[in-house]
């Protein structure tokens, strides 16, 4: 069965909104867009390349799809990610889109959770959920996330959309691999491990 892997950039306080640029996602008056690049280093790029090596598809929500489809088709061809992002298959979960035109994109229809369950049973390698905070919330509630691959950058913003937002399902996480880069970014891979345990000292 294919794994659904949430792969995303986070601030130290868990914000995932608009890492790529000031105009990427200003929803709710967010003014901190573009926070990732000042903390980006070669270690982050190497980790992302490694995390994509065992995947052959992305699962995107509408907003992230729109952002990516507006950028990657005309991105710098010398960027090693450009060809990969354009050629990789994209599955798009949206209640408002009626078509998807970016190369190798498929619009999922019907109930998102059921569509993803069916997708997990198809032939292929792992599927990355990139950005797509609202979609990630749905997948977490439906127990459809098999792994988290997170770059946690040394910056605190105080506002913005968070991966583990208020109301997230309480979940224990098993660390698979946690390392760091020279610039201070934490590279963390976790797998859900049931409900949290509780105790006292």
- Write out pLDDT tens, residues 140-155: 999 999 999 999 999 9
Residue 81 has pLDDT above 90, yes or no: no
Pair 1, 120: CB distance under 8 Å: yes
pLDDT for 164-198, tens place per residue?
988 899 999 999 999 999 999 999 999 999 999 99
pTM of the model: 0.93
b/e code 139-163 from CB counts within 10 Å (16+ = b): bbeeebbbbbbbbbbebebeebbbb
127 Ramachandran zone, left/alpha/beta (phi>0; psi -120 to 50): beta
pLDDT for 191:
97
Picking from 128, 107, 122, the residue whose alpha carbon sits closest to that of residue 59 is: 128
Confidence at 82, pLDDT banded by 50, 70, 90: very high
What pLDDT sits at residue 194? Answer: 95
Q: What is the pLDDT of residue 65?
A: 93
Residue in 64, 55, 50 with CA at minimum distance from that of residue 16: 64
Average pLDDT, the chain: 94
For the stretch 26-51, pLDDT in tens is: 999 999 999 999 999 999 999 999 99
3-state secondary structure of 164: coil
What is the rounded CA–CA span in Å between residue 7 and residue 178? 14
Residue 80 has pLDDT above 90, yes or no: no
At 132 the pLDDT is 87
């Amino acid at each position: 069965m294919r794994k659904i892997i949430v792969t995303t950039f986070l601030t130290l306080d868990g914000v995932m909104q608009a890492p790529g640029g000031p105009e990427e996602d200003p929803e709710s008056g967010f003014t901190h867009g573009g926070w990732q690049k000042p903390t980006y280093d070669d270690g982050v790029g190497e980790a992302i390349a490694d995390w994509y090596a065992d995947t052959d598809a992305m699962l995107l929500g509408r907003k992230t799809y729109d952002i990516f489809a507006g950028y990657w088709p005309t991105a710098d061809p010398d960027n090693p990610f450009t060809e990969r992002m354009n050629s990789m298959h994209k599955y798009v979960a949206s209640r408002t889109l009626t078509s998807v035109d970016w190369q190798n994109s498929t619009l999922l229809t019907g109930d998102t959770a059921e569509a993803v369950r069916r997708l997990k049973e198809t032939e292929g390698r792992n599927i990355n959920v990139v950005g797509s905070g609202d979609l990630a919330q749905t997948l977490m509630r439906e127990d459809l996330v098999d792994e988290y691959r997170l770059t946690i950058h040394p910056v605190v913003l105080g506002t913005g959309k968070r991966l583990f937002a208020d109301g997230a399902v309480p979940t224990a996480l098993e660390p698979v691999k946690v390392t760091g880069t020279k610039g201070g970014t934490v590279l963390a891979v976790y797998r859900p491990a049931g409900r949290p345990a509780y105790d006292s000292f």
